[in-house]
Amino acid sequence: MDETRTEIGELGEFGLINKLTEGIIRINDETVLGIGDDAAVIDAKGKQTVVTTDLLTEGVHFNLMYTPLRHLGYKAVIVNLSDVLAMNALPSQVTVSLAVSNRFSVEALEELYEGVKLACRMYNVDLIGGDLTSSVGGLMIAVTALGFVEAERVVLRSTAKKGDLLVVTGDLGGAYMGLQILEREKEVFKEAPGAQPELEGVEYILERQLKPEARKDVIEHLREIKIQPTAMIDISDGLASEALHLATESKLGVRIYEDKLPIDQQTYDQAREFNLDPSLCALNGGEDYELLFTIDQSDFEKIKGDPHFSVIGYMAEQSEGCELIFRNGGSTELTAQGWDAFRKES
């Protein structure tokens, strides 16, 4: 194993930028000018431009005790691409900015950027710039993503209609259960530093937490089967929270059926092992980065039996409120208990 450590000060800011971004080539025609000038230049080619940004901070959004830097770089890009896709746009460019302390070597940042570059290659996205600065408090990553979409294809949170079906992609709760396992193993390691982590048989949910994927395939598939969602959002803070966003923004109520929630067997088994309700994990876990959207009832036949999608409920009158319908037919008010960066923990 190469133990070489190059201090950032040996390269300086611009030398480090050159080191981390070497070998990057332009992929998209919209990218006129990328890294190397005061600003990038993008030609939207008559389409609508979608822009989003996320800030990830060490100790709040990630723990480097169990998060590989390559995975972190990948995930930092993915969470932003997911927001672009939730507008029914296709991502095209990203910028990546870092604030780093002298805890990190050049080699460590190269490892982080390997993940960034891999995400860009996998999703055909251009890395077109960013910034680097020093930090006294660990690592911070800010990613801005841009995408493009024809004006008639833009999908908002606020345009669902009464009677629309509520649809989710993939399965839910896996990222949350992956986090529970990592936190458990962290505590075991603190007590017994020589202990080996027990991770066999839970690879899927660990990947859901450490290396999620954005559902670009779903957006492309929806276009192939000629479905235009009436409203859409990505699931970063938990299904319940995102469904309430759709309902609030669209001035509607919502019904979600517990027995329709898509939960992977690994997620279910681990939730039971932790004495957690799998349905609550699916509703409130967050970080699944699946897409939650509504469709007109007339489009049901197009998605019926499609493995990409689960119909989990429908949009109701605002006066009917937002409810979760239990398997036994009972119901309760739908509440958001997912991630909130500013909520005080009890």
Distance of alpha carbon 287 from alpha carbon 173, whole angstroms: 8
Cα dihedral value 259, 263, 264, 266, nearest 10: -100
Q: Is the pLDDT of residue 345 over 50?
A: no
13-153 matches 165-333 in fold: no
Does the pLDDT value for residue 242 go beyond 50? yes
CB atoms within 10 A of CB 327: 10
More confident residue, 7 or 150: 150
Average pLDDT score, the chain: 91
CATH code reported for the domain at 165-333: 3.90.650.10
Q: What is the pLDDT of residues 166-201, one digit of tens each?
A: 999 999 999 999 999 999 999 988 888 777 777 889
Nearest residue to 264 via CA among 340, 206, 197: 206
Report pLDDT digits (tens) over 20-37: 777 777 787 787 766 666
| Residue 238, phi-psi category: left (phi > 0), alpha (psi -120 to 50), beta (remainder) | left
Q: What is the DSSP string of 31-74?
A: EEE-BTBSS-EE--TTSEEEEEEEEEEBTTTB-TTT--HHHHHH
Q: How many CB atoms lie within 10 A of CB 346?
A: 3
Residues in Cβ contact with 77 at an 8 Å cutoff, skipping those fewer than 6 apart: 94, 96, 115, 116, 119, 120, 123, 125, 143, 145
pLDDT band at 42 (very low <50, low <70, confident <90, very high): confident
Closest CA to 86 of 173, 164, 168, 6: 168
b (16+ CB within 10 A) / e for 37-60: eeebebeeeebeebebebebbbee
What is the model's pLDDT at position 196?
A: 76
The band of 332, judged by pLDDT with boundaries at 50, 70 and 90, is: very high
The per-residue pLDDT for 9 is: 76
Kindly state the average pLDDT of the residues 273-283: 96
DSSP state of 151: G
In sequence order, what DSSP letters do the residues of 156-210 get, joined into one string?
Answer: -SS---TTPEEEEES-SSHHHHHHHHHHHHHHHHHH-TTPPP--TT-HHHHHHHH
For the chain, the straight-line distance linking the first and the last C-alpha, in angstroms and rounded, comes to 43
Instruction: Please report the pLDDT score of residue 40 as a whole number.
Output: 64
pLDDT for position 1: 43
- The answer to whether residue 344 scores a pLDDT higher than 60 is no
Pick the CATH number of 13-153 from 3.10.129.10, 3.50.50.60, 3.40.50.1100, 3.30.1330.10: 3.30.1330.10
Domain positions in the chain: 13-153, 165-333
**Residue of 171, 20, 141 lying closest to 79 (CA atoms):** 141
User: What pLDDT does residue 343 have?
Assistant: 54
- Each residue's pLDDT tens digit, 77-134: 999 999 999 999 999 999 999 999 989 999 999 999 999 999 999 999 999 999 999 9
Report the distance separating Cα 223 and Cα 153, nearest Å.
10
pLDDT, one tens digit per residue, over 82-96 is 999 999 999 999 999
Cβ partners under 8 Å of residue 129, min gap 6: 34, 35, 39, 40, 95
Q: Report the C-alpha gap between 154 and 267 in whole angstroms.
A: 33
Q: Which residue has the higher pLDDT, 315 or 23?
A: 315
Provide the pLDDT for residue 2: 54
Residue 277 scores a pLDDT above 60: yes
Phi (first) and psi of residue 127, to 5 degrees: -85, 115
Q: What is the pTM for the complete model shown?
A: 0.90
In whole angstroms, what is the distance from residue 273 CA to residue 201 CA? 13
CB atoms near residue 8 (< 10 Å): 20
